[in-house]
Structure 1
Amino acid sequence: MTRIMIADDHPIIVSGLESLLSKSGYEVAATVASGAAVLDKLAEVEPDILILDVQMPDGNGMDVLRIVRSGGDERAVVLLTAGIEDRQAVEAGSLGVNGLVLKDSPPDQLLHCLDEVSHGRRWIDPDVAERMRDRVGQGANPIENLSAREQAVVGLVVQGLRNREIASMLGIAEGTVKVHLHKVYEKLGVGSRTELVIYARNLAGN
């Protein structure tokens, strides 16, 4: 039976997902309420598929996706979201997300996505997929050309985390974080942490 870990900070949604999945041949191996909790329990639970809310405290779904991919973990990841910006969707695609479902979709759409993903295929909400194609056609965001680990570091820097905190989140040495940051500065043409944050936020339209 396919084992699933659900990460969402809204108990009502988690309860609904557990009920839906339990009736559909999937095993809910664990439920957590933050990105940090996903990373803490991943090795212990060993789920086949992660269902991640895009908006969560202590590391959102995109953060978790960046981190697991930067560590070489290719297990299936499905993002579940009330809405996602085009740049986030394109980045998720570049990181190899396996599925993306909008929260206002009919329940059977999530099940269809999980069925596709569990058979090694990708399923992205059709409207989001079209926006992703349009965005890629207009030219990629320079940050999306960074490695998965570099993207993870940038995302955490923008959130205001210090090098020590980033190292803890990514499971790497603080010195390694500094090395990644210097490479990012060179690739993006910025000279400091502050410039990086401004650059990334400008690209995001924030």
Structure 2
Amino acid sequence: MGRILVAEDDPLTLEGIKLLLSASTHQVIGTVNNGSLLLKEMPALRPDLLLIDFDMPERTGLDVLRTLRERGDKRPVVLLTGSMSDKRVYEALQLGLNGLVVKAQAPRDLITCLDAVFAGRRWIDHDVLQRVMDLSLSPEGAQADPLAPLSKRERAIVGLLLQGLRNKEIAGELGIGEGTVKVHLHNIFEKLGVTSRMELALLAARNGD
């Protein structure tokens, strides 16, 4: 069971979140309606995970994420978004975002995302992640993109790896053999000059901090 601090400024959405979590193994230990209050309440409440609305008054979810990482706070952060630009998602991933759920899909995806994040994996809405990966292929994104040397298939593998999927699961997602995934990973490591999945994740998610 995880202790969760929720930051959401819309009362109806907040009630929906609380209802969803009440049927899970996770516990809501506090709620706030803006990013500044979240940062203020964290020391006393000591949450295991922060579930934050991206678009809030005073400080957005992205602002809070950036502040936490600058402080060296590595606890998991999951963002809820109704409309978040792909560039902002890309920035959040670079800052080490652990999860992202589209509000319209929250009844289906929120618990799945939280379970994955508490298990040590990253969970990002698939459609959003695909758009962000496509953005990184564009000339604008490639200028500062650490994955610029990779092919589209290799980028897809990195995206799934960042969600915490194993080689067999990546193979299933892409409809290829597990051995093919291993070959792609070897080529990715060679192109990017990394030696492990952890180094690859750090390069992809934290480059540009």
TM-score range, shorter chain: 0.5 to 0.7
Structure 1 residue 137: Cα displacement: 2.0
- 2:127 is paired with a residue whose SS is helix
Q: Is the 8 A contact 2:39 2:64 kept in 1?
A: yes
Whole-angstrom distance in 1 between the partners of 2:79 and 2:105:
13
Tell me by how many angstroms 1:104 deviates: 0.5
> Secondary structure of 1:121's partner?
coil
Seen in structure 2, the aligned counterparts of structure 1 residues 69 and 142 have a Cα distance that, compared at 3 Å, is farther
Amino acid at match of 1:6: V
Structure 1 runs of 4+ with >4 Å offset: 141-145
Note closer, same or farther for the CA distance 1:144–1:79 as it changes in structure 2 (3 Å cut).
farther
What is the correspondence of 1:130-169 to structure 2 with a 5 Å cutoff? 130-138=130-138, 139-140=140-141
1:106–1:66 Cα change, 3 Å: closer
Identical-residue share of aligned pairs (%): 43
Matched residue of 2:104: which SS?
A: coil
1:73 alignment partner, SS class: coil
Q: 1:39 to 1:144 in 2, by over 3 A?
A: farther
Q: Which letter maps to 1:86?
A: D
C-alpha distance 137-118 of structure 1, shift in aligned 2 (>3 A): same
Q: Secondary structure at the match of 1:105?
A: helix
TM-score by length of 2: 0.66
Aligned to 1:87: 87
**1:104 matched to which residue of 2?**
104
Give CA deviations for 1:113-152 in whole Å, capped at 9, x if unaligned: 000000010000011000111112224387999xxxxxxx
Distance 1:57 1:106 in 2: 21
Structure 1 regions of 5+ residues with no counterpart? 146-206
**Could you tell me which residue of structure 2 aligns to residue 44 of structure 1?**
44
Give deviations 1:57-82, integer Å, cap 9, x for gaps: 11010110010011111100000010
SS state at 1:140 partner:
helix
Shift of 1:30: 0.5
TM-score, with normalisation over the residues of structure 1? 0.67
Q: Provide structure 2 residue ranges, at least 5 long, that are not aligned to the other structure.
A: 147-209
Q: 1:110 to 1:132 in 2, by over 3 A?
A: same
Provide the aligned C-alpha RMSD in A. 1.8
